[in-house]
Amino acid sequence: MNKITGLIAATFAAYNEDGSINLALIPTIVDKMVNDGLAGVFICGTNGEGPNLTIEERMLIAEAYVKAANKRILVLVHVGHSSIAECRKLASHAERIGADAISSVAAFYFKPSSVQNLVNSMAEIASAAPNTPFYYYNIPTLTGVAMDMIDFLEQAENVIPNLAGIKYTASTLQEYQACLNYKNGKFDILFGYDEMLLPALAVGAKGAIGSTYTFAAPLYLKVIQLYQEGKSEEAAAMQMHAVSMVRCLVKYPSIPAQRAIMKMKGFELGKCRLPLVPLSQQDETNFKAALEAIDFFNVVNSVVAV
């Protein structure tokens, strides 16, 4: 697979009223991503509540996404789990159904003790899908695993033949830039902090994965367009709309708040699973009022990327 350019939406899990997974909504979500101009979807990750799902559910979701995408957009499947044996089952399944790439976080209960330990763990997972590009999912704020990513690339390139790169969800732009430039850009380093997309573009980002691209893609695509046209002030002003939205969002638990935005945009995703809980009705009302006060919905609806 060539390097990914553009935006990949980290989509949210959808549940029925009884708490079971809602597979029927997936084609509608995929159609929205295609129509919004996204390059792909990243499924069963943080926002897709991968750790809250059984591996059987994750396999069903992956199958539904691959079928609905029908090669119109890329499908990247997160296969991370606290058990490497389960990771391997998910990875093998993703390859079998024709996923475009797989990705895994570090184990988050018994954590890797060194870069070499992390590399060996990822190699074990990636080898279960040897013909599918593999991305290490670096998200230290959630896994508690914060290793030097240049050290990771130096060691991993020798033992993970299908290593495509890193899903880099950390705010350390200097390390992100170093990874981008490692061996003249050998690896695909996808940026994962939506509210820092513009600074990431400035240091060389070409592709990004994020949750808010699920409901605000036009805004971010406009940021990219303006940046590429050399209109730095306009790009910064457009990025500021995203920053303002995220500033509203972080006053609440992140995933329930973003699921509430999806609901406001007409996508009923059901209740998230414990220990996550949906926003209270009062919080949802206050959150919507805050978003309307910054004109968020009108901005997203009015942006037209040329």
Report, as residue numbers or ranges, the catalytic residues. 137, 167
By residue count, the chain amounts to 306
Residue 209, marked binder: yes
The set of residues, in sequence order, having a beta carbon less than 8 Å from that of 242 and lying 6+ positions away, is: 194, 195, 197, 212, 216, 219, 220, 223
Query: The tokens of 5 are what?
Result: 């350019």
Strands (E), the chain: 6-10, 40-43, 74-78, 101-104, 134-138, 163-168, 188-191, 207-210
Q: How many CB atoms lie within 10 A of CB 201?
A: 19
Distance CA 287, CA 293 (A): 10
204 by Cβ neighbours in 10 Å (0-12 / 13-18 / 19+) ranks as: middle
Query: The tokens of 215 are what?
Result: 């409901």
Nearest residue to 138 via CA among 129, 130, 147:
147
The set of residues, in sequence order, having a beta carbon less than 8 Å from that of 149 and lying 6+ positions away, is: 138, 166, 168, 175, 178, 179
Distance CA 141, CA 250 (A): 15
Residue 70 backbone zone (phi > 0: left; psi -120 to 50: alpha; other: beta)? left
**Binding positions:** 209
**Binding positions for pyruvate:** 209
